């Protein structure tokens, strides 16, 4: 494990240059639901080359529902009916080779067959096709149902609160500039850039989920810390690159489901 000190807090701006983006999009109506979690439990679910990172003496697990908007290849227009869809991910915070901070996803649910198939085929990312919905009214309601071999459901309703600065733990939990995935015997690093998150506090009016147990993790205990953001509009992903290969290693977690 690594324990984040002030010097270990991520930068509010991307820390790597993406010269040739491979995918562009916006992320809107984003909620981050964070729980403290046992470090050793999460570490057992990670591939070689990744170490769980701690903040304030704890590892953290985050459920993040959002709306993907305008997903497209660079230089191409968004396609109505294909480029906009809800997505929900379950993630933790890690350091990869060279000590680079990033995210590891235990699952990603998307209401998009092409994203689900493409991300699994090209990146080995643990995507699942699911029925997801986002409704905004007095609060914001997220619902999701995943069928198949690894079923899961969730229902979340939040009430956004006042703005909060992206400092300390608020920054550490939300501003990450790379993701890791495991594919074909290799640990891949995928850089991302976007403008800083405009963050608000939030409270949960309703919260029920089985995404954690579907990922082989225990149900979270204790009250979560919740952030809400209207979103970021200029999201770009760079090409994935292998940072560690081990031909005999198996895929961790539910990537292989």
pLDDT digits (tens, 9 = 90+) for 99-145: 999 999 999 999 999 999 999 999 999 999 999 999 998 899 999 99
CA 171 to chain centre: 15
pLDDT score, position 16: 76
Q: Cα–Cα distance between 56 and 34 in angstroms, integer?
A: 13
What is the pLDDT, as a whole number, of residue 119?
A: 97
Question: Domain limits of the chain?
Answer: 18-245
pLDDT on residue 5: 41
> pLDDT tens across 139-192, in order?
999 999 999 999 999 999 999 999 999 899 999 999 999 999 999 999 999 999
Residue 48 has pLDDT above 90, yes or no: yes
Which two structure tokens, joined as six digits, stand for 55?
């903040």
C-alpha span between 219 and 254 (Å, rounded): 16
Q: What contacts 5, CB < 8 A, 6 or more positions away?
A: none
Task: Tell me the pLDDT band of 256, cut-offs 50, 70 and 90.
Answer: very low
- Find how far residue 153's CA is from the centre of its chain: 17
Q: Name the residue among 85, 17, 7 with its Cα closest to residue 53.
A: 7
- Whether the predicted pLDDT of 72 surpasses 70: yes
CATH 2.40.400.10 fits 18-245, yes or no: yes
Q: Can you give the pLDDT at residue 257?
A: 41
Better-scored residue on pLDDT, 46 or 248: 46
Mean pLDDT of the chain: 93
How many other CB atoms are there within 10 angstroms of residue 113's CB atom? Answer: 11
- In angstroms, what CA-CA distances link 234 with 29, 174, 192, 196, 231? 14, 16, 10, 10, 10
The band of 7, judged by pLDDT with boundaries at 50, 70 and 90, is very low
In this prediction the pTM is 0.93
What is the structure's pLDDT at 246? 84
């Amino acid at each position: 494990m690594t324990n984040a000190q002030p010097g270990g807090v991520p930068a509010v701006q991307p820390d790597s240059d993406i010269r040739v983006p491979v995918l562009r999009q916006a992320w809107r109506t984003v909620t981050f639901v964070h729980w403290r979690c046992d470090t050793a439990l999460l570490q057992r679910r990670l591939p070689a080359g990744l170490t769980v990172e701690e903040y304030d003496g704890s590892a953290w697990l985050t459920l993040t529902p959002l709306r993907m908007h305008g997903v497209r290849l660079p230089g191409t227009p968004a396609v109505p009916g294909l480029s906009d869809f809800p997505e929900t991910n379950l993630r933790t915070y890690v350091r990869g080779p060279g000590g680079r901070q990033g995210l590891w996803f235990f699952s990603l649910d998307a209401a998009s067959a092409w994203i689900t198939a493409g991300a699994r085929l090209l990146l080995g990312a643990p995507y699942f096709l699911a029925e997801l919905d986002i409704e905004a009214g007095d609060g914001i309601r997220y619902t999701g149902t995943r069928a198949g071999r690894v079923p899961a459901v969730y229902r979340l309703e939040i009430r956004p609160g006042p703005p909060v600065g992206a400092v300390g733990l608020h920054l550490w939990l939300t501003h990450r500039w790379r993701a890791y995935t495991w594919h074909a015997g290799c640990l891949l690093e995928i850089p991302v850039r976007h403008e800083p998150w405009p963050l608000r506090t939030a409270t949960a009016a309703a919260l029920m989920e089985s995404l954690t147990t579907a990922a082989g993790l225990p149900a979270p205990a204790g009250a979560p810390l919740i952030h809400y953001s209207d979103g970021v509009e200029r999201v770009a992903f760079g090409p994935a690159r292998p940072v560690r290969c081990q031909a005999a290693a198996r895929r961790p977690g539910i990537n292989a489901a």
